[in-house]
Amino acid sequence: MNTSMGFTPLAGLMMGSRSGDIDPEIIPFIEEKFKLDSEDVRRVLNRESGILGISGVSNDIREVEDAAKNGNKRAELALSMFVHQIQHYIGSYVTDLNGLDTLVFTAGIGEHDSMIRSMVCSKLSYLGVEIDEQKNANNETSIETANSKVKVAVIPTDEEIVIARDVVSVAKL
């Protein structure tokens, strides 16, 4: 089992406003260059970085996609970096797992954003991933082509039911 998160949610994949993985030396660099204390740096890395910080548009991927479609270079860069990081983690996990049978997209962006799914899969053909763009655009639950060596699934997230089951389990109801 592996996860992209580290000690805190700040580590791992870039998020809407969180930086994701960074070189630890960036912290004293930011403190010195911008005359910020550690609390200010923490705030910047958690609330003003990631997709928002790079795009300069929003922490909402839909707004960033719209800006990119309208030629906003920073929005294009944010999307490119986000997708690259996802591809990086997939590559790492494929190595951990010694292969790939199924690629699953879930949660907000994975479940609802066909453009990001398409961009992520665009460089995974070497793994046997091939998606049907029409199925992807229609948000079907199985979006691979008939020739794909890897299943590609879009699975809805139901966090409330998971929490309810955990409560029942802990409370032994």
Q: Residues 28-46: what's their mean pLDDT?
A: 95
- Judged against a pLDDT cut of 70, whether residue 30 lies above it is answered with yes
* Euclidean distance between CA atoms 60 and 27, whole angstroms: 25
Q: Residues 55-69: what's their mean pLDDT?
A: 96
Of the three residues 99, 116, 134, the one that is the final residue of a domain is 99
Of the three residues 99, 118, 147, the one that is the final residue of a domain is 99
Domain enclosing residue 19, as ranges: 1-99
* Euclidean distance between CA atoms 16 and 91, whole angstroms: 22
Determine phi and psi for 65, rounding to 5 degrees.
Answer: -60, -45
Residue 161, annotated as binding a ligand:
no
* Residue 146 pLDDT level (bands cut at 50, 70, 90): very high
Residue 140, annotated as binding a ligand:
no
Residue 110, annotated as binding a ligand:
yes
Residue 128, annotated as binding a ligand:
no
Secondary element (H or E) of residue 155: strand 151-155
Residue 21, annotated as binding a ligand:
no
What residues have CB less than 8 Å from 28, skipping those under 6 apart? none
Residue 84, annotated as binding a ligand:
no
Residue 65, annotated as binding a ligand:
no
Residue 48, annotated as binding a ligand:
no
CB atoms closer than 10 angstroms to residue 108? 11
Of the three residues 76, 99, 122, the one that is the final residue of a domain is 99
CATH code: domain of residue 92: 3.30.420.40
Over the stretch 100-139, which tens digit does the pLDDT of each residue have?
999 999 988 989 999 999 999 999 999 999 999 999 999 9
